[in-house]
Every structure is written in C-alpha cells, then in structure tokens.
Amino acid sequence: MGGGGHGHGDPYKIPDYKIYKVEDVPRLMQIKRALAAQGLSDPWLRNEVWRYNTKEFSTHHDMLKKLMFRGFKLGLAATVVTVLGTAIYDKIFPDEHHHHGDH
C-alpha cells in the first residue's frame, strides 16, 4: 500500500525547513529585535514564518473576506429569484381573501 494517495504518489510534499527565514518577514524581525534588546532569543521563531507567506497562504484580511463573502453571489442571485418568483406568483394567483373595506 505505501504512503501514496490512492496510487497517485505522495499526497503532499514537506518543504525544506531552510526556505523559511525570519529575515524575510519584517514583523518577525521586530519581535527578534525586541527579544534581543532584552537579551533573549526565540529558537522557534522560524516556525512562524510560514504564516506570513502570502504566496502560499492568504493574509488575515483575505481569509476574513473569503469567510464573510463566500457564496455571496449565489445567495444574492437566490434572493433575487425568490423575490421575483413571489411577485410573479402573486400576480398570477391573487389572494382571494383581500378585504378592501367591504364587510
């Protein structure tokens, strides 16, 4: 059976850890400098670099926008169709129970 995904090869490729450099991320460099000013260092800081890779992963703003507006076009179209359908139905089959002040 092996480690492939249904005989199509590996389902994912683990990237080389050396491609992630703290120096490539300005925000992490600020943290590194702030720690250094206090005589500290974070050996695991490199593990956070991938979070700031906007080529492979979206920014927080993009993820929020995607979450909020996913399906918006389809939902808007469904709303328009529903409103138009209801209006057309009401014109074709008028309500027989309207009371126009005649009792």
Taking only the tens place, the pLDDT of each residue in 42-99 is 989 988 888 887 777 777 788 788 888 889 999 999 999 999 999 999 999 988 765 5
What is the pLDDT confidence band of residue 28, given thresholds at 50, 70 and 90? very high
**Residue 16 per-residue DSSP state:** P
For the chain, report the end-to-end CA distance as a whole number of angstroms.
Answer: 81
User: For residues 77 and 79, what is the distance between their CA atoms, to the nearest angstrom?
Assistant: 5
pLDDT at 97: 62
- Tokens 């050396």 belong to 18
What is the pLDDT confidence band of residue 1, given thresholds at 50, 70 and 90? very low
pLDDT at 50: 82
User: For residues 43 and 98, what is the distance between their CA atoms, to the nearest angstrom?
Assistant: 76
- 5 or 87, which is more confident: 87
pLDDT at 98: 59
Residue closest to 41 by CA, chosen among 33, 50, 51, 49: 33
